[in-house]
Chain A
Amino acid sequence: MTIRRARGILPGFGLSLGTTLLYLTILVLVPLAGVALRGATSQWEEIWQASTSARTLASFRLSFTASLAAGAANAAAGLLIAWVLVRYRFAGRSALDALVDVPFALPTAVAGLALTAVYSADGWLGRWLAPLGIKVAYTPVGVWLAMTFVGLPFVVRTVQPVLAEIDAHLEEAAAVLGAGRLQSFLRVILPTIVPALLTGFTLAVARALGEYGSIVFISGNLPMRTEIAPLLIVARLEQYDYAGATALALVLLLTSFALLLAINLFQRWSVRRLGPSPG
C-alpha cells in the first residue's frame, strides 16, 4: 500500500464530487464552452467588426462607466450603512438591516418597474427631481441608478463582518495615544477594511456590468445613448446576428473573469492582513 495524504475519513467522496462535477459540466461549462467555441470558429473580421462598431463601442462605454460609477456609489453608501449597522444600537436597526437585502431578493424585473415608476417625470421622486433639471428615467443616470440599486447589498455584506471583527483594543489604544475619532478611522479602521471594501466594490461592478432586468425598463434602450452591452446582445440575437452577440458576450465574459480574479486576489490580501477568519 502506498502512503498518501488522506483525503478525509468520511465516505462519499467519489459520489459527491462526481455529482458536483457532472452537474456543473452539463449546466454551466458546456453552455459557456459553446460561447467560446462559437467565438473561436467565427471569422476574425466578423468578430472585430461586430465589437468595434460605433453602436457596440457606445454600449461598452456606457456599461463600463455606469457600472464603475455604481460600484463607487455602492462603496460609499455601503460603508456608511455597514458602519451604522455594526457600530450603533438604535430603534429600527433590524428593519434597516432587512432593507439592505431587498435588492438581492427582489426580482430584477420588479426592481426595474419600481424604479421606473418612482423616478419617471411624474413619479413619487421624479417629480421633485424634474424641476431641478435632473432627468433619471430614459437617461444614463437611470442606468447608473438601477445598477446602484442591484449592487447595494454587496459592499454592505462584505464590509459588515470585517468591521464587526476589528479588535476594540486597537481603537482604544489609538484613543489613549491621543488620536481623534476621524484619525483612528482613517489610520486604524480604514486600512483593515480596505480589502473587504474593494471586494464588495468589485462584486458590485461585476453585477452591474451583467445586469439586464432592472435596467431594461428605466433606460429606454436608445441605441448610442442608453443602450448597455447586455441589451445590445439581446438586440443582436433578435436579429439572428449570432456573431455580433457572441463578440459582445466574449468581451463581457473576459471582463467578468478578470473581475473574479481580482476578487480572489483581494481576498488573499484580506487573509494576509487579518489572518484566517475564525470558522
Chain B
Amino acid sequence: MPFGESILIAPPSRQPSVTEPAPVRWLLVSAAAVLLGLFVLVPLAAVFATALRAGLGRYLDAILHPDTRSAIGLTLLTAAIVVPLNALFGIAAAWAIANFRFRGKRLLITLIDLPFSVSPVIAGLALVLVFGRQGWLGGSLDARQIRIVFAVPGVVLATAFVTVPYVAREVLAVLEAQGSEEEAAALTLGASGWQILARVTLPKIRWGLLYGIALCNARAMGEFGAVSVVSGHIRGETITLPLHAQILYDQYDAVGAFAVASLLALLALFTLVTKKYVEWRSRPA
C-alpha cells in the first residue's frame, strides 16, 4: 500500500470535540505551512523563475528548439504506448483481485507493487542484462537485428516497468471499497461479463481510473533513472524530456534545462489539479 489509502475512500475528517489551546494550534499550523512552503513551494517556484530568468523569448527558443521538440515527441510516444497498456493491465488485475478468491492473492498484490520499491536504476539494469548485447537474449536479438536497449523499445519497456502499479492500485482501491454486489445483480439480470464491465464496473471506477491514469502518465513522462540507463542518450532518437533537461544542464545551459523542466512541472501541476477534481467529483453527497 505504498501511497496509503486511495484518496477516493479516505474517510471524511471532522473537527474533534477535544482539541489543543488556540496558540498551540496556531503554532502547529504555522510550522506545517512554513515547512511545506520552504521545502516544496519554493523549489517549485524556482523552476519557473529560473526558466524565465532570461526573458520569455529565450524561454520559447529553448522550448521550440528542434532537440526539445524531438524529446517532446519521444516522451509523448512513450506515454501513448505505456499508459493505455498499464490502464488495461490495471483494470484486469483489479477485476481479478476484487471479484475472486484465489491462492496467492497477497503475493500477487505485492508483485504488482514491486516496481514501487525497486530502484529505477535497477529496472534499467535488469533490461540491459536481459536485452542488452551482453544480455541473456542479446545474441538472438542481435542476430535478428532487433535493438531494444539503447533504442526506443528499451525506453518504452523501462517506462512501462516503473509505471505498472499506478492504475491497478487506484482502481483496486475503489473496487474493494465498493464491493461487487452491483456486478452480481447485473449477472442475475442476465448481463454478460463484458456487459457488466462496460455498464457497471467502468462507470463505478471512472474517477479512480482517471486519477490512476493521470498518475501513470505523469510518471511515464517524467521517468528519469530507468530511462537514463537504457536510453544510450542518442541525440534526436532516444532522448526524452527529463534526459534532455539533464543534457542541457550538463552543458551549463541552465535556462534551457529549466525551460524543459518547467514543461514537466506544468504536467505535475496538471496531475494535481486532476486529483483535486476527482476528489471533488467523487465526494459522497
Contacts and interface: CB of A to CB of B under 8 A. Distances in A.
Given A213-B224, A230-B225, A157 B257 contact: no
B39 A152 contact: yes
A277 B117 CA distance: 24
A209 B122 CA distance: 12
A233 B122 contact: yes
Interface stretch (B27-35, B57-65, B66-74): B27-35
B184 A28 contact: no
A134 interface: no
A165 interface: yes
B225 A212 contact: yes
B118 A107 contact: no
A36 to B, nearest CB: 9
B272 A98 contact: yes
A209 B110 CA distance: 19
B4 interface: yes
B14 to A, nearest CB: 8
A7 B130 CA distance: 36
A7 B119 contact: no
A201 interface: no
B225 A213 contact: yes
Nearest to A214: B224
Contacts of B157: 27
B119 A172 contact: no
Interface string A89-104: 1101010101111111
A34 B25 contact: no
Given A20-B93, A87-B16, A256 B118 contact: yes
A154 B271 CA distance: 18
B121 A124 contact: no
A234 B19 CA distance: 51
A23 B89 contact: yes
A192 to B, nearest CB: 14
Given A7-B100, A109-B224, A210-B118, A160 B18 contact: no
A160 B10 contact: yes
B123 A31 contact: yes
B81 interface: no
B36 A110 contact: no
A19 B87 CA distance: 12
Interface of B: 1-5, 9-21, 24-25, 28-29, 31-33, 35-44, 46-47, 50, 85, 88-89, 92-93, 95-96, 99-102, 106, 108, 110-123, 125-130, 134-136, 157, 160-161, 164, 176-177, 180, 183-184, 187, 192-193, 196-197, 215, 218-219, 221-225, 228-229, 242-243, 245-246, 249, 254, 257-258, 261, 264-265, 267-269, 271-272, 275-276
Contact of A242 (B20, B38, B129, B271): B129
Contacts of A13: 96, 99-100, 102
Given A13-B102, A81-B35, A210-B122, 17 more contacts: A8-B99, A10-B100, A31-B130, A90-B29, A102-B44, A105-B268, A108-B222, A108-B242, A109-B242, A118-B43, A168-B17, A199-B1, A210-B119, A210-B120, A212-B121, A230-B120, A230-B225
Interface in A1-60: 5-13, 15-17, 19-21, 23-24, 27-32, 34-35, 37-38
A10 B196 contact: yes
Contacts of A89: 15
A117 B46 contact: yes
A111 interface: yes
B224 A28 contact: no
A13 B102 CA distance: 10
12 contacts: A9-B184, A11-B187, A30-B130, A31-B129, A102-B40, A113-B47, A113-B249, A113-B257, A113-B261, A160-B4, A230-B122, A233-B125
| Top 8 A-B residue pairs of the complex, sorted by shortest distance between their CB atoms | A107-B222, A210-B119, A157-B4, A31-B126, A213-B224, A212-B225, A11-B193, A114-B43
A100 B36 contact: yes
A156 to B, nearest CB: 8
A161 interface: yes
A206 interface: yes
Given A34-B129, A124-B46, A253 B218 contact: no
A267 interface: yes
A106 B187 contact: no
A108 B225 CA distance: 9
A193 interface: no
B129 A114 contact: no
Nearest to B93: A20
B268 A106 contact: yes
Nearest to B174: A279
Interface in A127-173: 148-149, 152-154, 157-158, 160-161, 164-165, 168, 171-172
B50 A117 contact: yes
A52 to B, nearest CB: 20
A259 interface: yes
B41 A237 contact: no
Nearest to B132: A242
